[in-house]
Structures are given as C-alpha cells and as structure tokens.
Amino acid sequence: MDQRPRLSDVAARVGVSPASVSLVLRGAPGPSSETRERVLAAAAELGYRADRTASLLARRRRHLLGVLLDVRNPFHAELAEEIHIEADRAGYEVVLSTLTRDRDEPRALETLLDFRCEALILLGPDAADDDLGRLAAQVPCVVVGRMARGVDVDVVRPADDVGVDAALAHLIGLGHTRIAFVDGGRGAVAAARRRGYRRAMRRAGLPAEVQPGDHTEQGGVRVGRDLAARGDLPTAIVASNDRLAVGLMDAFVRTGIDVPGRVSVVGYDDSTLAHLAHIDLTSVNQDAPAQARQAVRAAVSRLDEGRTRPSEIVLVPHLVVRGSTAPPPD
C-alpha cells in the first residue's frame, strides 16, 4: 500500500484547501506569503513529493513539440531531422508545419496551435519580436537561427558575424579584394548576415558591394545573370545562404563563367546542397545537430522543469572549404 503523503495531507496539516496547496507548490499566484510559508513548511515536514505521473495525467499532457520550417530550405530539413531525434530521446513527439509558396507564417503557426502543441520551435522565423512575444504568451517558444530581443522566448542561434568573418578571411587570404555579398532579402536571418558582411568589410578596409536578392535559388540565378550581363564581375561572392549560392553558380555555368577560376563563391548553412560533388560549395557550417539539441532542451526545460526565464544559446559556426573558392584570376 502506498503510504506516501498526499496533497490532501499537506492541506489538512495547514488547514487550507488542496487547490491552495497546489497553487503554492506550482508557484502560481493567489495564496498569501504567510500561506505559502506554512504550506512549504508542512510539505517539508511530511516529506511530500509531487506525483509526476498523476500530475501529467491530470494536466492531460500531450508531449507534442511543434516545429515551424520552410519546406523549400534544405537546412531546415536537416534541423527538423535532428529535432525529431532529440525529441524522441526526451519522450516527445514532433508536429511539423511548413511554409510554402502560398502558406505564410501566421497560417503555419495556427496549425501548430490547433494541434495544441506544448511548445513551439521556430526555424528562422521572420515575425517581428513583438509578434513572437505575443505568441510566447500563449505557448513556450524557441527561436532558432536569429536574435529576439526583449521578449520571453528562448533563442538558439549561430554567431552569424563569426561565420561571415570566417568566409571573408578565407577569401581575403586567397588574395581577393573585390568581394560582393548577395543579400537574402528582408528576413531577420538575412539582415544579421548582411550586417556581418558590412562590418567585416569595413574592418578589412575593403568596399562593400551588396547585391539585392532573396533567400531562393531563383534569386541567386537572377543576380548571377545580371552580373554576367553587365560583365563587371567581382572576383568573389559571399551568398546569404546555400540556395542563393547554388543559383549563382547555375547562372554562371550557363553563361560560361568559371567557378572558381573567374569567380569564387561561398555559401552559408553547409546544407546537403553544398556537399554534392558537382556543386562542391565552400560554406559556413552552423552545426545543425547542436542547434537541434539545444532547441529541444530549451523547450523541455520549460515544460518539464518549470524554467521561466528566457535563455539564449549562441553557437560558433565554422567554414568548410571545398572546390568553389580559389585565388583570384591574374
């Protein structure tokens, strides 16, 4: 027979209702400071410990983590796979909700909320910080890949300035002095990488040259065609992500511009695209497994351990050098 003290035993000792004891033990508002002290003292005297299994059943825990991702982004696919692995280890299931050509962030987030996910892991969201804060008021949120300031969300991100610095240091070390940057558009991740490029070029005493783009292969193709048509090519280009870099390389191949003989190209993400032998892209690696581990741990610590203060984990990326970069042409 189970002789462990129960919530009702603590309540009887103090002379309050079991509901009041529950509020105190969960740290919820309501009971006075005097009642809190008496309840905690009685719980300690009786050796009361919460029955976690009963608590989970009473709360009808779903153990679902919702993940927002862009289905067209190969790096997001890698992150999602790693999140599944880590979530499974923690005893959670994963629900994916994707961005597509005609499915935006608000709609994708609605789906996750409709599934009553206990926490959300958002991969590179474009939502403003205030919008993220409003979402976090409904459900714990972990933002992966970008900053979020002044709101109650957890953040796991790479040090993008370090990643861009590594790409530029590699190209400058090869002898390049005219290095352009293909922008990733209006998103928060793209903005961080653009700022990192401008800062690094200033430090190196080199002129910045930002080519407007977006985060897609098609955006890279457009920039590549435009540069080829003008005939005024930089000797090296850093792209805001691998998708842009692959689009650039495709445009250059089709117009007879040799990579890396005429133009060196560096991507960012070190996605599966970069590893393909016919692409062989030098790219900044963000350590997808580590980002996934930290994101799941942040969500689980909110849900299982009751952590309430937001956290930020910043991981240091590194450059993986492949065949798309070489010294500038003579």
Predicted confidence (pLDDT) per residue in 285-321, tens digit: 999 999 999 999 999 999 999 999 999 999 999 999 9
pLDDT tens by residue, 12-26:
988 988 778 877 887
To the nearest whole number, what is the mean pLDDT of the chain? 91
Give the single-character DSSP code of 118: S
Give the single-character DSSP code of 186: S
Sheet (strand 264-269) strand order: 210-211, 179-182, 236-239, 264-269, 282-285, 318-320
Sheet (strand 93-99) strand order: 93-99, 64-70, 119-123, 141-144, 154-158, 312-315
Q: How far is CA 64 from CA 58, 60, 104, in A?
A: 16, 12, 22
141-144 and 119-123 beta bridge pairing: parallel
Q: What is the mean pLDDT of residues 54-61?
A: 52
Residue 73, helix vs strand vs coil: coil
**Tokens 């401008």 correspond to what residue?**
198
Which one is predicted more confidently, 59 or 63? 63
Tally of CB atoms within 10 A around 315? 15
Which residues of the chain form CATH 3.40.50.2300? 64-158+288-315, 160-286
Report the topology of domain 7-59: 434 Repressor (Amino-terminal Domain) (1.10.260)
**pLDDT value at position 19?**
75
Q: Report whether 176 contacts 238 (CB < 8 A).
A: no
Grade residue 60 by pLDDT with cuts at 50, 70 and 90: low
> HSE of 29 in the Cβ direction (CA atoms, 13 Å)?
0
**Tokens 């008021």 correspond to what residue?**
137
State yes or no: pLDDT of 30 exceeds 90.
Answer: no
Q: Can you identify the CATH homologous superfamily of domain 160-286? A: Response regulator (3.40.50.2300)
What's the token pair of residue 305?
A: 């351990």
Q: Can you identify the CATH homologous superfamily of domain 64-158+288-315? A: Response regulator (3.40.50.2300)
Range from 29-38, 64-73, 78-87, 115-124 carrying the lowest mean pLDDT: 29-38
Which residues of the chain form CATH 1.10.260.40? 7-59
H-type alpha helices, the chain: 7-14, 18-26, 33-46, 52-59, 74-90, 105-114, 129-136, 160-173, 188-204, 217-230, 242-254, 272-275, 288-305
Q: Report whether 14 contacts 42 (CB < 8 A).
A: yes
pLDDT tens by residue, 205-219:
999 999 999 989 999
Q: What is this structure's pTM? A: 0.77
